[in-house]
Amino acid sequence: MTQIAPYEVYALQYATRPTMASDKFYRHELYKEPDERFDTAYYFWLIRNPDRTIMVDCGYSAKAAASRSREIETDPVELMARLGVTPDDVDHVVLSHMHFDHIGNVGLFPNATFSMARAEYEFWTGPYGDRTCIGWAVRPDEVQAVVELEQTGRLDLVDSTTTELFPGISLTVVPGHTPGQIVTHVTTGNQEIILASDALHFYEEMRLDRPFQIFLDLVAMYESFDFLRELDARPSTTIVAGHDPEVMSMFAHAAEGCVDLTRQVRAQTEEQ
Ligand SMILES: [Zn+2]
Q: What is the pLDDT of residues 65-91, one digit of tens each?
A: 888 888 898 999 999 999 999 999 999
231-260 pLDDT, tens digit each:
999 999 999 999 999 999 999 999 999 999
Under 8 Å between Cβ of 162 and 119: no
Distances (CA, A) of 2 to 168, 186, 243: 11, 16, 35
Neighbouring residues of the ion ligand 1, judged by CB less than 5 Å: 99, 198
Under 8 Å between Cβ of 15 and 41: yes
**DSSP letter for each residue of 203-233:** HHHHHHT--BS--S-HHHHHHHHHHHHHHHT
CA of 5 to the centre of ligand 1 (A): 31
Which CATH superfamily, name and number, covers 8-262? Ribonuclease Z/Hydroxyacylglutathione hydrolase-like (3.60.15.10)
The per-residue pLDDT for 272 is: 44
Give the three-class secondary structure for 81. helix
CA of 99 to the centre of ligand 1 (A): 5
Q: What is d(CA 192, CA 7) in angstroms, rounded to the nearest whole number?
A: 11
Under 8 Å between Cβ of 39 and 243: no
CA of 66 to the centre of ligand 1 (A): 18
The per-residue pLDDT for 269 is: 75
CA of 2 to the centre of ligand 1 (A): 36
Sequence-distant (≥ 6) Cβ neighbours of residue 248 within 8 angstroms = 11, 13, 41, 259
CA of 39 to the centre of ligand 1 (A): 16
What stretches in the chain show pLDDT beneath 50?
A: 272
Residue type, 61: S
Domain ranges of the chain: 8-262
Q: Please, which residues bridge with residue 253 across strands? A: 259
Distances (CA, A) of 210 to 30, 34, 192, 205: 10, 15, 25, 4
